[in-house]
Amino acid sequence: MKYLSEKSGNYVGMTMVAKAFYPRLIRPDTKFNKLGQYKADIRVPVEEAKELMEELGQVYKEWTGKAPSKNDNSMWKMEEDKEGNTTGDVIFKIRVANRLTKEGEMWNRRPRVFFSNAEDRTDQIGGGSSIQVQFAVYCWQAEKKGVSLQPISVLVKEVKEPQQEANPFGEGEEASFDTPSVETNTGDSTDADATSQEADGFY
């Protein structure tokens, strides 16, 4: 199965259906970024993840001139338990941070969220929810070159509400899914307004 498509040198991908890993789809995580970062990370068994990893690794190599680290890089990491042992799953890091425009206004980069079943529509989308993510492959250069995955749209197949428990993986504060209080210049409706009818155009 091919996960990435290319147009004019830019890559867009579609993940397999997988379990969300500490998602932040409605309200961004502001613990390490004051403007907020949205997260559509997914947990995938290694065997199932290999083809996507290979495709992303090829893009990374074309851009940076070298292969990415197999265990931890800007696109994925091997999941470990509290004792530091690998679990057999891969966490794909699919994240995007808000920015300020030249005019100093907030650019809210929240991905669109759709629901397979309109009755499941909610703003309480917790870890373990079954999701599929459309993402952009962002090739960047700062002090070094790298590749990141940025969510564009998320299709929620099955909803699991957030659990009140500590995060053992160091991914930031616990997920919270209130509607953002900051004003944005996008004019978009909230993610929870997306219905199964809208989801027909997800692909």
- Residue 111 sits in a domain whose CATH number is 2.40.50.140
Domains: count for the chain: 1
How far is the C-alpha of 56 from the C-alpha of 80, rounded, in Å?
21
Percent of the chain topping pLDDT 70:
80
Whether the per-residue pLDDT at 145 is higher than 80: the answer is yes
Give the range of the structural domain holding residue 92, as residue numbers without chain letter.
Answer: 4-160
State mean pLDDT over 59-85: 96
Indicate whether 106 belongs to any domain: yes
100 belongs to a structural domain: yes
192 falls within a domain: no
Looking at the chain, the whole-number percentage of residues with pLDDT higher than 90 is 73
Residue 174 lies in a domain: no
Reply yes or no on whether the pLDDT at 143 is more than 80: yes
Q: How far apart are CA 111 and CA 152, in angstroms?
A: 5
Structure tokens at 123: 């703003």
β strands within 15-161, DSSP E: 18-20, 24-29, 37-39, 42-45, 76-80, 86-92, 95-97, 99-100, 106-107, 112-115, 130-141, 145-158
Residue 188 belongs to a domain:
no
Question: Does residue 158 have a pLDDT over 70?
Answer: yes
Residue 109 domain-assigned? yes
Query: What pLDDT is stored for residue 196 in this prediction?
Result: 41
Q: What confidence score (pLDDT) does residue 197 get?
A: 41
pLDDT of residue 192: 41
Please name which of 76, 74, 81 lies closest in space to residue 50, comparing C-alpha atoms. 76
SS3 at position 129? coil
Q: What is the mean pLDDT of the chain?
A: 85
Whether the pLDDT of residue 198 is over 90: the answer is no
What tens digit of pLDDT does each residue of 18-49 get?
A: 999 999 999 999 998 999 999 999 999 999 99
pTM of the predicted structure, to 2 decimals? 0.80
